[in-house]
Structure 1
């Protein structure tokens, strides 16, 4: 249970902390983060040249993410798939933590969902700020 719950909570913590960064910097920081996630498995080389191909795809997605939350969300979902493949292959993202890729596969979709909402975080019941006279 904790192997699933902890990564989900880490995903929520990432969302909360990232929400403290003001736009447009928040989107750009998250694009860089998803680009880095694309290179996370490179040193293991478990999938041979496919590791480089995935890194290239994630670099493109991260570049597009500089202007699009949707691409950042897509990047996190792609990374989720890569986490599953590495977990099944027995080559975790952290070699000293056997279930690290398994956990990452639960954390990443939480972040992706937040990205698909435009990277916004608002307290429930918090009034929206309105400009006087604005439509």
Structure 2
């Protein structure tokens, strides 16, 4: 379950974010990953490197205000940060030993969604249903 649940959370995140209209969806996600980049500041265990890591992710997230690709890159940078914290033994949630590991599984799912342009799955499903209705209407009766 410690492998499946974080992946499911990433997928649910992508579906829920699809409910926000563009361009607000992209900007909101840039802010989300910028905030996620600061998650380890209160005790991540890498000293001054925590500030540098946060600064890099924040800059890439800022670039993400206008680009889904940068948001995806920022999520992958956060994934790398999660892996380092998991290996060092300073989880994102001090009371949950595998929380950084779970975050490292969740973040790439979100990054993949971002690299696809942060599509709205609701619109995707609706357009698929409309295509099927159109195809059914164009099929000649037997």
Is TM > 0.5 for Structure 1 vs Structure 2?
Answer: yes
Match of 1:26 in 2: 25
3-state SS of 2:2 partner: helix
Which residue is equivalent to 2:128? 125
How many residues align structurally? 127
RMSD of the alignment, in Å?
A: 1.2
Gaps of 5+ in 2: 132-142
| DSSP-derived class of the 1:50 partner | helix
Partner of 2:75: 76
How many Å separate the matches in 2 of 1:66 and 1:38?
A: 15
Deviation at 1:125, TM superposition (A): 3.0
User: CA distance change for structure 1 residues 45 and 103 in 2, over 3 Å: closer, same or farther?
Assistant: closer
Q: Name which one, 1 or 2, has greater alpha-carbon Rg.
A: 2
- Measure, in 2, the Cα distance between the counterparts of 1:9 and 1:18: 14
Q: TM-score scaled by structure 2?
A: 0.86
Q: Name the residue aligned to 2:57.
A: 58
Query: 1:44-83, CA deviations, whole angstroms, 9 ceiling, x for partnerless residues?
Result: 1400111000111011111100000000000000000000
After TM superposition, the runs of 4+ consecutive aligned structure 1 residues lying more than 4 A away are none
**Aligned partners of 1:45 and 1:5: how far apart in 2?**
25
